[in-house]
Each structure stands twice: as C-alpha cells, then as structure tokens.
Amino acid sequence: MLTLQKGARNTEIVEIHQKSTRSKKAAGKVYFTHDATAEGNVAPCAGVLALHKDSLKKIHKLSNADFERVCIMIDTNEEPDVGDSLRTEFWELKKIYERALRTEMWLGDQDDLYFEHNLPRDRETWGGNFLMVGNSGAGKTYWVVQLLLRYLRATKPHSRRTIIYISPEAEIDITLKPLKDNRFAFNTFFIDVSADAVKKSSLSAAEYYQTNVESVIEKHGERACIIYDDFMDAAPGMEQLLRRDYIHGLRTARHKKTTVVSLVHSYASGRNTSQAIQSVKFAVMFPASSKSRIVMFMRDHLHIPIKEAKELVHRFAKIDRWMVIRMHSPVAIYNSKYLLLV
C-alpha cells in the first residue's frame, strides 16, 4: 500500500513538491510498503474519490447531494441507520474509498502540491533507464530537458553526472538551449549525429562515430546520463552503430550506474524499443496525443484489460500532458497530480 512514511523496507515511488516554497528539496515522498500495519494515506473521502465521482454517481444513481452526504458519513464514520436510502451506497463507496487510500493519491484538490520525478543526486545511486514515447511535438524532449535541469541545478558541478545528449538535431533543437547554459558546460556533451554533421566533418560515418560518440561514451559514460533522441534518424551508416551502443548501454546500465534515456515516436518500432521495454524502469507517455498506443502498451506490458486501460488513459489525459509508468515492482502510474498503484 501507499504511505508517506519512510521505512527500512519501503520503496520510494515519487517525490512531492510544494510550489510556494520554490525549494529544490522535496516536501515529502510517497513510498510503497508491504506492511499492512504501517501508517497509510489519510484524506477526506470527497477528495480521494474525486476522480471516480462521475462514474460512482452513474453506477449508484446518486445526486451530488447524495454523494456528498455519503462522503461525510464515511469521514465521520457514521453508519447510516437501517432503512436509510443510502445505506447500501455507504458500504459500497466505503470499500472503494478504503481501497483507494491504499492504492491512489490525488493532489488535484491541493494547488500548492505536485508529484515530481527526479534523478538521484548521488552518482552512486542508479537512476533507472527511461523510455520516452510520443508523437513529434508531444513534449518528449521538453520533459527530459526539465528532468535534467532540475538535476543540474540541484547538484554542484564537481558531484554531477555527465550528461551526454546524442541527437540528429543536437545543434538545431531550441528545446535544448537551457541545457547549453555556460553553468552546465563542464558536465554536458551534445553530439550531433545528423547527415549534415558527418558531411561537414569530411569523415565517414564510422570514423565520425568513433571520434565523436564512442570515444565520449568510453571516457565519460560510467555514472553518466546518456540520452538517445531519435537516433534512428542519424546519418546513414551510423544508426546501426548507435543501436549497438544503445542496447549495450541498457544491458550494463545498472552495473555502471548509468541512466540511459531513449526518445522514440512509437514503442512498437522494432529492435530499438523491444530491448528497451525489457530494460527500462520508467516509461514516459503523453496521453493527449497517443491514447490508443498507451492502451495497447498497458495491455501488452502491464496486462491491464483494454476497457480498464482506456479508462485509466482517459483519466490521466484529463489531468496532465504526461504520465510516468514505473515498470519495476511496485508498478505504478503517475503524473503531476495523480498516483495509482497498479
């Protein structure tokens, strides 16, 4: 179940941050625990069931007033009298409420708080591998840039991971501009693998790869964060070399404490993503632009029935542009305001 209490056997899922403080430090953290006696989530019924309100009203034929009355009775632990028209609904909603307390967390009724995914500041702690899936313009690069900026701003230059960003648009993508700030120059490498870059170098694709990619990864790749952004569109002759590095990086990431991030348009794009899905800890999706693909992903890899997956994707799409799927146990899905234990 979910808890806000840190414990020796508890697993951290995500941080909670507070807008008003503007602090880089988390205001709290959400953990998973197997301990049924641990202090769990506590929150008013109406807030916990907010995302389920419409469906519960429809199923149980409740008016807004009925729904609010049942929630108040649950909060005050006031069991309806025998013969009360809402007695059955009270017990049904109470079961759903208690289950939601164990498996869900909703911050939508608290403007100041939000969930935020961050890389571990300590280079010795593995941050996991990421697979970012979304159409062009969905926000993949922006999400990664913000993740990296938070990390760089929260750590001192001498203690930072090296950031190696490999992309055929490394020189022209304006979304990357904040990462190219002089404050981060000591810790960042941007490697352009476009056909134009290879042509300007007067090197063959293999020579360019050895000089500009392989040598950097060999020297700086351990305990680094290596981003492969649409490397399938790299210069002719280089895509196969990059794929080899990418797959090898995934396989050795935990051992080398390296975080490997891949940005792709579709999770069903061949060998590049089939290996990734087996190796990633976090899959980041963008439900507003690719609902059907996320539904299929949930069916294929989380074994969630299609009907339930559709409802979940619709729920997340209404809240935020992105959703993180934690692929390792405990499996969870979250965005800035909603967390669900699967």
Q: What would the 3-class secondary structure string for 108-165 be? A: CCCCCEEEECCCCCCCCCCCCCEEEECCCCCCHHHHHHHHHHHHHHHCCHHHCCCEEE
Q: Which residue ranges make up each domain of the chain? A: 1-116, 123-285
The pLDDT tens digits of the residues spanning 254-289 come to 999 999 999 998 876 555 556 677 889 999 999 988
pTM of the model: 0.91
- What average pLDDT score do residues 226-239 get? 95
Q: How many CB atoms lie within 10 A of CB 60?
A: 15
Integer Rg of the chain from CA: 23
Domain 123-285 fold is Rossmann fold (3.40.50)
- Rounded to an integer, the average pLDDT of 97-103 is 94
Main-chain phi, psi angles of 172, to 5 degrees: -120, -10
- pLDDT (mean) for 165-172: 97
User: What is the pLDDT at residue 74?
Assistant: 97
Q: HSE of 50 in the Cβ direction (CA atoms, 13 Å)?
A: 15
Q: Which amino acid is at 305?
A: P
15-35 pLDDT per residue, tens: 999 998 877 899 999 999 988
Whole-number pLDDT of residue 274: 63
What is the rounded distance in angstroms from the CA atom of residue 249 to the CA atom of residue 263? 15
Percent of the chain residues topping a pLDDT of 70: 97
Q: Does the pLDDT value for residue 40 go beyond 90?
A: no
pLDDT at 195: 97
Computed over every residue of the chain, the mean pLDDT equals: 93
Report the alpha-carbon distance of residue 176 to residue 197 in Å, rounded. Answer: 17
How confident is the model at residue 289, as a pLDDT?
Answer: 84
